[in-house]
Chain A
Amino acid sequence: MKFIFLLIGLISTFIAHAKIDIDFWTTDNGVRVYFVESHELPIVDININFDAGAARDPVGKSGLANLTNYLMLLGAGQYNENQISNLFSDIGSTLGGGIDHDHAKLNIRTLSKKDALNQTIETFKLVISEPRFDQETFEREKKSTISFLEQSMTQPDSLGTNAFKKALFGNHPYAFPEQGIVENIQKLDRKDLVSFYNEYYSAQNASIVIVGDVNKTEVKKIVAQLTQNLPKKNHPSIPAVDTISAQEVMISNPAQQAHLFYGMPSMVRLDEDFYPLYVGNYILGGGGFVSRLTGEVREKNGLVYSVYSYFMPMHQKGPFQIGLQTKKEQIDDAFKLVKEVVSDFIKNGPTEKELNDAKLNLIGGFPLRLDSNKKISEYLSMMAIYNYPIDYLETFTKNINNVTVNEVKEAFQRRMDMSKFSTVIVGKN
């Protein structure tokens, strides 16, 4: 006990150190800019995010957002895929991309010395504003994506993840895998990518995060260079998630372990219940070895290597998901235990001690979230994509600290209804 008081004393002293100064502004054409200046390492990280994720896939074209984003890395302006790649790698810069349902991103990391930075920005500008979508490259990547998806549909984790999304989201765009579905991808052609790009890679949709060894004057020039050619376009919000009735899906699979997926649509970003649900989930199944689920299912009963729960807040209600893997003969026992733990948690909430321990971890561990340029740029991107208030990081620890046992209990009771949880089990005998 002495020990806990000691730690509380420390917390107030180190939160101050973890503060980072975020410079935020919006350009004339509507691009939101987030900048953190840091000269300790000669590195610059730039992430540019667009509202061009898989939820924007037109009906019947699932996989379009993913292929569009990927093909943008493979040729732009006067340069083919090899030339583009070499322009970056010859100076040690790394280019990346990626999508989820709510956004698409392009990112680069470069050394900050003038020649490397200038060449990187010039080339990155082409990637953003003049992607080629070469026919031959497109055909190859289409075929490879289909192969990859067909392979993944033999693996229990992918099978379960996809079935779980389908069970939770029905016909909502969130129901489809980010990488798309084979039957839709087969029908895509190059023109689809061009029109998706023209529609969704626009200024109003864009945010830029820059972290590292540059000053504000340079950043303003970089932002102008990268975004001045982007068109202006607005889009309706992603439709709300309808609550659908609980599904039960059993999928046979020859693997040794059965995989469980269990949960329901839950939280939006900036949800009014975010803090109590987030802290509550740390106690239930998010806090690694000290969570209730790990304690019961793994530590006390040795049934699993990994059991977890998480909320994935999205533009619309994203999943609350519990998952585990265990050898097939044990799946019923493990699932029963999970239900008992969740049911008890919803009914009775956490104890004061559990809540206090959770706060100590989440508040005390706050500096760890921002201890590298890479982590800072990832946090800023999350804030940018979902339009978080600019003081989010500054108020995070205070908001965590304000959560009470009753708030957690009340939020879980109001939001989490096990009779609405869907179940997917892959590989049940």
Chain B
Amino acid sequence: MRILSTFIGIFLSFTILASTNEYKLDNGLRLIVNEDHRAPVVVSQVWYQAGSIDEVNGKTGVAHVLEHMMFKGTKTSKPGEFSEIIARSGGRENAFTGTDYTCYFQTMEKSNLELSFKMESDRMQNLVITEEEFEKEIKVVMEERRWRTEDKPEGMLNETFNALAFKAHPYSRPIVGWMNDLESMTYEDALEWYQNWYAPNNAIIVVSGDVSPQEVFQLAQKYFGSIPQKKLPHRKPQLEPSQKGTIRAELKAQGRLPMIQMGYKVPLLNKDPMKTNTEAYALEVLAGVLSGTSTSRIQKKLIQSGKALSAYANYPMLSRGDVGTFEFVVTLNQGSDPADIEQIIKQEIQSIAKEGVTQEELNRVKANVIAGDVYEKDSMFYQAMIIGQLETMGYPYEMKDGYIANIEKITSDNVKKAAQTFFSEEGLTIVHLVPESADK
């Protein structure tokens, strides 16, 4: 992302949409329109199925660098002109890159949707990447990496964790790229990326807001319909070999408080909607029972006891790469022992593996999922985002419709079984951040 927050994680829950229409153009471009007529506003998002997962060693970070270069002009527009035009229309725009996708978006007064399509279709096919603009922008990206990762303890911790938990799988590499890869990247690398992946048959447009789906479809045909398809590079599976023992590491970083990030490799949601997904939904509920509210098990044991300042469990549930880790990230209080924290987390999992969870815990998780689903409808952007993420990760977006019903079906026994099955020492990766303080 070019400014503000980036690298948006996979959201844990998604929502049922009131009215959603799907179209496909002859060149393979897909369009999904979600109607929301509460305000005269439209969100337009162009998603490319190209993220850091598609990168190769030595060129890490190129997906994100290209995202930056997409604002640097086309055959008929100057660098920065895209942003100027959107700003003059009253719109807000930006972009973000994830492991599985790159997304460009504008939020605008509804009558400006055509402007968005006109400009997005231009940079889908006519981008110009000059060496001069690239050399300036790559420095910006290096500053972004310094700010986001090098100087942030939690950023370094997460990067180290991923690099250890995965070896063969591209999720081992940081989305922003290794610094040395950025240093040696050239404008030709960015160009190659653009030529490989930026094509209508590798893109999905998601529009959410006060629009008529049929009119949006006509606009899409007008602006994107004539863009030729491309033959996309073959994607290798790059599966992670199974882990045979705990991976443990230490990392030094500036600060006073220790942190730990620990995670277990777990199955994610199956991409085939016909398959049963009990395990994935049970893991989702397990994450809720462990740290969904301020009275969850981890919160009671770690926060209420004063042993930690923050602690959460996260189950990613969805990813294009079919792997993920059920993670715990804890910032310890002064005087707490990381080994003690690790033990407490393991005991909580073991206790659920033995006894299951209480009806009260289950009901609470479900009540929050159901209410959360309603609350999310208050954001047009979020609704579009869920559709775009699902689709670029390879899930049919309709799978969101089954989310609540599937969560509601989960029983204590399902959660117990998940806790028994997926949390072995063999599949554990744990990184302990050791604080170093310069001034004391």
**A255 and B371 contact, CB distance less than 8 A:** no
**How many residues on the B side are at the interface (Cβ–Cβ under 8 A)?**
70
**B294 and A85 contact, CB distance less than 8 A:** yes
The answer to whether A300 has its CB under 8 Å from any CB of chain B is yes
Q: Mark A103-147, 1 if CB is under 8 A from B, else 0.
A: 000000111000010000000000000000000000010011001
Min distance, Cβ A96 to any Cβ of chain B, angstroms: 11
The answer to whether B71 has its CB under 8 Å from any CB of chain A is yes
**B90 and A363 contact, CB distance less than 8 A:** yes
Question: Pick the contact of A365 from B92, B257, B309 — CB < 8 Å?
Answer: B92
Looking at A40-48, A165-173, A241-249, A311-319, the stretch in contact with chain B turns out to be: A40-48
**B136 and A302 contact, CB distance less than 8 A:** yes
**B143 and A301 contact, CB distance less than 8 A:** no
- List 26 A-B residue pairs with CB atoms under 8 Å apart, sorted by A's residue number: A3-B88, A14-B110, A17-B40, A18-B39, A81-B294, A90-B367, A91-B371, A144-B306, A147-B256, A147-B257, A151-B331, A154-B256, A154-B437, A257-B146, A287-B87, A289-B87, A298-B140, A299-B79, A299-B136, A302-B139, A305-B143, A325-B146, A361-B88, A367-B39, A368-B90, A371-B38
A374–B146 Cα distance when bound, in Å, is 33
The answer to whether A254 has its CB under 8 Å from any CB of chain B is yes
A300–B370 Cα distance when bound, in Å, is 48
**B143 and A255 contact, CB distance less than 8 A:** no
**B111 and A42 contact, CB distance less than 8 A:** no
The answer to whether B214 has its CB under 8 Å from any CB of chain A is no
The dominant DSSP class at the B interface is: mixed
The answer to whether A184 has its CB under 8 Å from any CB of chain B is no
Residues of B245-270 whose CB lies within 8 A of A: 254-257
Min distance, Cβ B25 to any Cβ of chain A, angstroms: 26
Q: Mark A267-299, 1 if CB is under 8 A from B, else 0.
A: 000000000000000000001111000010011
**B38 and A40 contact, CB distance less than 8 A:** yes
Q: Mark A182-210, 1 if CB is under 8 A from B, else 0.
A: 00000000000000000000000000000
The answer to whether B144 has its CB under 8 Å from any CB of chain A is yes
Min distance, Cβ A297 to any Cβ of chain B, angstroms: 10
**B438 and A254 contact, CB distance less than 8 A:** yes
**A302 and B40 contact, CB distance less than 8 A:** no
A111–B378 Cα distance when bound, in Å, is 12
**B3 and A89 contact, CB distance less than 8 A:** no
Min distance, Cβ B207 to any Cβ of chain A, angstroms: 15
Task: Contacts A289-B2, A367-B39 given; indicate if A92 touches B370 (C-beta within 8 A).
Answer: yes
The answer to whether A396 has its CB under 8 Å from any CB of chain B is no
Give every chain B residue within 8 A of A81 (Cβ-Cβ): 294-295, 304
**A90 and B363 contact, CB distance less than 8 A:** yes
Q: Mark B385-422, 1 if CB is under 8 A from A, else 0.
A: 00000000000000000000000000000000000000
Min distance, Cβ A97 to any Cβ of chain B, angstroms: 12
**B367 and A302 contact, CB distance less than 8 A:** no
**B254 and A371 contact, CB distance less than 8 A:** no
Min distance, Cβ A280 to any Cβ of chain B, angstroms: 16
Question: Pick the contact of B295 from A89, A110, A256, A326 — CB < 8 Å?
Answer: A89
Interface residues of B (CB under 8 A from A): 2-3, 38-41, 71, 79-80, 83-85, 87-92, 107-112, 135-144, 146-147, 150-151, 254-257, 292-295, 300, 304, 306, 309, 331, 333-334, 363-364, 367-368, 370-372, 374-375, 377-380, 435, 437-439
CB-nearest residue of chain B relative to A91?
A: B367
Q: A305-B147, A368-B91 given; name 9 further pairs at CB < 8 Å.
A: A7-B89, A14-B40, A41-B374, A82-B304, A302-B143, A303-B143, A304-B140, A327-B142, A366-B90
The answer to whether A360 has its CB under 8 Å from any CB of chain B is yes
**A257 and B143 contact, CB distance less than 8 A:** yes
The answer to whether A86 has its CB under 8 Å from any CB of chain B is yes
A18–B437 Cα distance when bound, in Å, is 51
The answer to whether A10 has its CB under 8 Å from any CB of chain B is yes
**B87 and A290 contact, CB distance less than 8 A:** yes
The answer to whether A402 has its CB under 8 Å from any CB of chain B is no
**A89 and B367 contact, CB distance less than 8 A:** yes
Task: Contacts A91-B371, A304-B143, A361-B90 given; indicate if A154 touches B438 (C-beta within 8 A).
Answer: yes
Task: Contacts A89-B293, A92-B370 given; indicate if A367 touches B438 (C-beta within 8 A).
Answer: no
The answer to whether A419 has its CB under 8 Å from any CB of chain B is no
Give every chain B residue within 8 A of A111 (Cβ-Cβ): 371, 374
**B146 and A256 contact, CB distance less than 8 A:** yes
Give every chain A residue within 8 A of B150 (Cβ-Cβ): 255-257
Min distance, Cβ A36 to any Cβ of chain B, angstroms: 12
Task: Contacts A18-B40, A360-B89, A367-B109 given; indicate if A150 touches B143 (C-beta within 8 A).
Answer: no
Give every chain B residue within 8 A of A303 (Cβ-Cβ): 139, 143
Q: Mark A334-374, 1 if CB is under 8 A from B, else 0.
A: 00000000000000000000000100111111111011111
Task: Contacts A14-B109, A254-B438 given; indicate if A289 touches B80 (C-beta within 8 A).
Answer: yes
Question: Pick the contact of A370 from B39, B111, B146, B370 — CB < 8 Å?
Answer: B39
Give every chain B residue within 8 A of A253 (Cβ-Cβ): 438
Give every chain A residue within 8 A of B142 (Cβ-Cβ): 327
**A140 and B306 contact, CB distance less than 8 A:** yes
Give every chain A residue within 8 A of B375 (Cβ-Cβ): 43, 94, 109
**A306 and B3 contact, CB distance less than 8 A:** yes
Question: Pick the contact of A86 from B91, B135, B146, B295 — CB < 8 Å?
Answer: B295
**B90 and A151 contact, CB distance less than 8 A:** no
Give every chain A residue within 8 A of B371 (Cβ-Cβ): 91-93, 110-111, 116
**B374 and A42 contact, CB distance less than 8 A:** yes
Min distance, Cβ B132 to any Cβ of chain A, angstroms: 11
Give every chain A residue within 8 A of B140 (Cβ-Cβ): 298, 302, 304-305
Give every chain B residue within 8 A of A91 (Cβ-Cβ): 367, 371
Shortest beta-carbon contacts, A-B, top 5 = A364-B90, A92-B371, A302-B139, A365-B90, A371-B39
Task: Contacts A365-B90, A372-B378 given; indicate if A301 touches B151 (C-beta within 8 A).
Answer: no
**A295 and B80 contact, CB distance less than 8 A:** yes
CB-nearest residue of chain B relative to A327?
A: B146
Min distance, Cβ B65 to any Cβ of chain A, angstroms: 13
The answer to whether A148 has its CB under 8 Å from any CB of chain B is yes
A301–B138 Cα distance when bound, in Å, is 11
**Which of the listed residues B109, B110, B142, B378 has the most CB atoms from chain A within 10 Å of its own CB?**
B109
A238–B292 Cα distance when bound, in Å, is 39
The answer to whether A4 has its CB under 8 Å from any CB of chain B is yes
Task: Contacts A7-B88, A151-B256 given; indicate if A368 touches B295 (C-beta within 8 A).
Answer: no
Task: Contacts A42-B374, A147-B334, A306-B147 given; indicate if A360 touches B90 (C-beta within 8 A).
Answer: yes
Question: Pick the contact of B3 from A14, A42, A289, A372 — CB < 8 Å?
Answer: A289
**A302 and B137 contact, CB distance less than 8 A:** yes
The answer to whether A155 has its CB under 8 Å from any CB of chain B is yes
Give every chain B residue within 8 A of A154 (Cβ-Cβ): 254-256, 435, 437-439
Min distance, Cβ B208 to any Cβ of chain A, angstroms: 11
Give every chain B residue within 8 A of A357 (Cβ-Cβ): 84, 87-88
Min distance, Cβ A196 to any Cβ of chain B, angstroms: 23
Task: Contacts A365-B91, A368-B108 given; indicate if A90 touches B364 (C-beta within 8 A).
Answer: yes
Question: Pick the contact of A41 from B40, B300, B377 — CB < 8 Å?
Answer: B377
Min distance, Cβ A187 to any Cβ of chain B, angstroms: 18
Give every chain B residue within 8 A of A177 (Cβ-Cβ): none
Give every chain A residue within 8 A of B379 (Cβ-Cβ): 372, 374
Task: Contacts A43-B374, A357-B88 given; indicate if A364 touches B109 (C-beta within 8 A).
Answer: yes
**A290 and B333 contact, CB distance less than 8 A:** no
CB-nearest residue of chain A relative to B379?
A: A372
The answer to whether A265 has its CB under 8 Å from any CB of chain B is no
CB-nearest residue of chain A relative to B91?
A: A365
A360–B374 Cα distance when bound, in Å, is 34
Question: Pick the contact of A305 from B108, B144, B293, B304 — CB < 8 Å?
Answer: B144
Give every chain B residue within 8 A of A366 (Cβ-Cβ): 90
Question: Pick the contact of B334 from A150, A295, A299, A368 — CB < 8 Å?
Answer: A150
